[in-house]
Chains A and B, each alone.
Chain A
Amino acid sequence: MMAAFPQLFAGLPRRALIALGVFFALLLVAPWLVNAYVLSILVVVLYFAYAGQAWNIMMGFAGQLSLGHSLYVGLGAYAAAMMFTKFGFNPWVGLLVAVLATTAMGAIIGFLAFRFGIGGVYFAILTIAFAEFTRIGFDHWTWLGGSGGLFLPVSNLSSNDLLNLRGAPVMFYYVMLGMCVAALAFCRVLLASRLGYYWQAIRENEEAAAALGINVFRYKMIAVMLSAAMTAFAGVFYAFYYNNLFPEQIFSMGRSIELILGPIIGGLGTLFGPIVGAFVLTPLADGLTEVLQWAGVEVPGVKQVFYGFCLLLVVVFLPNGIWPVLARRFGLAREN
């Protein structure tokens, strides 16, 4: 692993390395710089950066549009919460169960779809359908709370128990930051690996990739399962950070869309796209809430309408996302 370490930064221009270092250092000391409210926003930002990174593997790298990623978040969350509340296992054991459950689910969906050459829009609808199907299933599964919700015992904020993921927001912040860095490094390695090149070949032209002898079915399956497995952690984190789970919320289509907006706005298929997207979208939404409160506007929906218009502007004027433009403007892109 240590041998791979310098490789992670190979080919990056010096200013990109400096920018990355400064950015990471700022994130490391952020809990001392900002107040509790900003920190809570940062936790959400990192959560979306991580989940977006996981989704990006499937769509950004391998070109398979999943619109039902809330399925994996929800399944992961419920699996770990079930292990914790019903059987008393700590969330890291729960994570194993969660990863198994989501990977199996990803495998089922992938198998159903890719076996029969279902792609594009059809695949996207299939992913939504599975998420909705599972949502309704959990709504009726009373053992896990049904539509009334599943609640985790609220944590004692004064002591940080990393093993049981019970503690103050700062602990959650560092856990998520660590996962984000790990996911970024992992994706960097993936993208430059043989697997990553196969994915990109499939994304650009599936038939050509197949003609070159790439086992398209196998590599698409790997993309779905890997993405699902990574998303499971986002679910586990969600369960233990918020301490409550409602099928209506966690499996909803809105959540899936929320999750994928970051990588798309940030820059699909790029490593920093999901991070940039999360850092733009979440504070934008929260900032807007603040402004509306300050202006005394109490009508629900105003924020989302503004959100929608921002999205519209980005997709019309920056179709490749924000990161590629930033990278070019400030010379942060890899030198070829």
Chain B
Amino acid sequence: MFDLYLNAALSGALTGLVYGLMALGLSVIFGVVRVVNFAHGEMMTGAMYGAILLAQTFKMDPLVAMLPVALIMFFLGYWLQRGLINAFVTRPEHTQFILLVAVAIILVNGQLIAFGPNARNVQVDYALESYQFGSIILDKVRIYAALAALAVSAALFAFFRLTLTGRAIRACADNFLGAQVVGLNVKRLYALTFGIGAACLGAAGCLMLLLVDVTPVQGPSYTLLAFIIVIVGGMGSLTGALLSGLLIGVSEALAGALFDPSAKSMFTFALLVLVLLFRPQGLLGRRP
């Protein structure tokens, strides 16, 4: 019995790493641009459909499709920030919210028109294979997806720590005015940041596609999930987002194993309420 739960928890942790990558995109965007991307989940389902198209036309494995999809998402994100959101950066929060809700509505229903309401997926030939470690059995796709999510996250961390652009973006996040004073092109860096967040999301979408089906109406629930992960982990904390993604993956899997799979999001919400109650700044967040 214990093995069963351990197995569920480990699978959940692997899924959680992909969740974490999805939330990283949101965290990066919020941490720097200070705009809440309410179209996050909708953008991810868009990326998932992109990966499906690539799989259908070029027989491309979603793990490979990660690169082109992330690249396209980068440009779309960059363009979205440049063309639309930059003008809203200094406007009140609720106007930004409405703007992104409008984008989200257009994306969900655009996907509905283009791909129909039915669930779609990609069949990879290793979909049913698994690795066995003693009494623990883990799906091959889950392990691949988790490893890829870790690799992308590591690349993101390295970018922010090691490159000049990454450091400039962090400077914008720390001190908007200061960054302007030393001559950083803040608007361009914002667009770059949104692009990077969207690229993370593109990669996460391809990896999600290995694990679940996609329907257009899932967009809003992914948005909500990403938010909860970011809040639980601590707004603006990248490690926090990854960690809390892991935590929520585990809690979802355990909820499914212990109770009922349909109750899994109740556990997630309960976790959110607990965190807001006892540690409102999030697990690894700094107190504002």
Contact = CB atoms under 8 A, between A and B. Distances in A.
A70 to B, nearest CB: 13
B273 interface: yes
Interface in B23-48: 30, 36
A59 B231 contact: no
B263 A305 contact: no
B93 A304 contact: no
Contacts of A303: 109
Given A122-B280, A299-B113, A309-B106, A65 B97 contact: yes
B107 to A, nearest CB: 8
Interface of B: 30, 36, 84, 87, 91, 93-95, 97-99, 101-106, 108-113, 117, 216, 220, 224, 227-228, 231, 260, 262-263, 265-266, 269-270, 272-273, 276-277, 280
| Secondary structure call for the A interface | helix
Interface stretch (A4-12, A111-119, A324-332): A111-119
Interface stretch (A81-89, A157-165, A311-319): A311-319
A304 B102 contact: no
Contact of A128 (B101, B224, B266): B224
A137 interface: yes
Contact of A305 (B87, B105, B117, B277): B105
Contacts of A116: 276-277, 280
Contacts of A67: 97
Contact of A140 (B105, B113, B263, B270): B263
A128 B228 CA distance: 10
Contacts of B106: 305, 308-309, 312
A152 interface: no
A160 to B, nearest CB: 38
Contacts of A307: 105
| The 6 A-B residue pairs with the shortest CB-CB distance in the complex, in nearest-first order | A301-B112, A301-B109, A308-B105, A308-B106, A304-B109, A311-B102
Q: Which of B99, B216, B269 has the largest number of chain A CB atoms within 10 A? A: B269
A264 B98 contact: yes
B269 A132 contact: yes
A125 B231 CA distance: 9
B102 A305 contact: no
Given A122-B276, A311-B98, A315-B95, A132 B109 contact: no
Contact of A253 (B93, B224, B228): B224
A65 B110 contact: no
Given A129-B269, A300-B112, A65 B280 contact: no
A315 B99 contact: yes
A213 B52 CA distance: 58
A312 B109 contact: no
B262 A136 contact: yes
A121 B98 contact: no
Contact of B103 (A132, A137, A264, A308): A308
B94 A112 contact: no
A267 B66 CA distance: 43
A126 interface: yes
A307 B104 CA distance: 11
Given A116-B280, A118-B276, A315-B99, A133 B266 contact: yes
Contact of B224 (A132, A137, A257, A301): A132
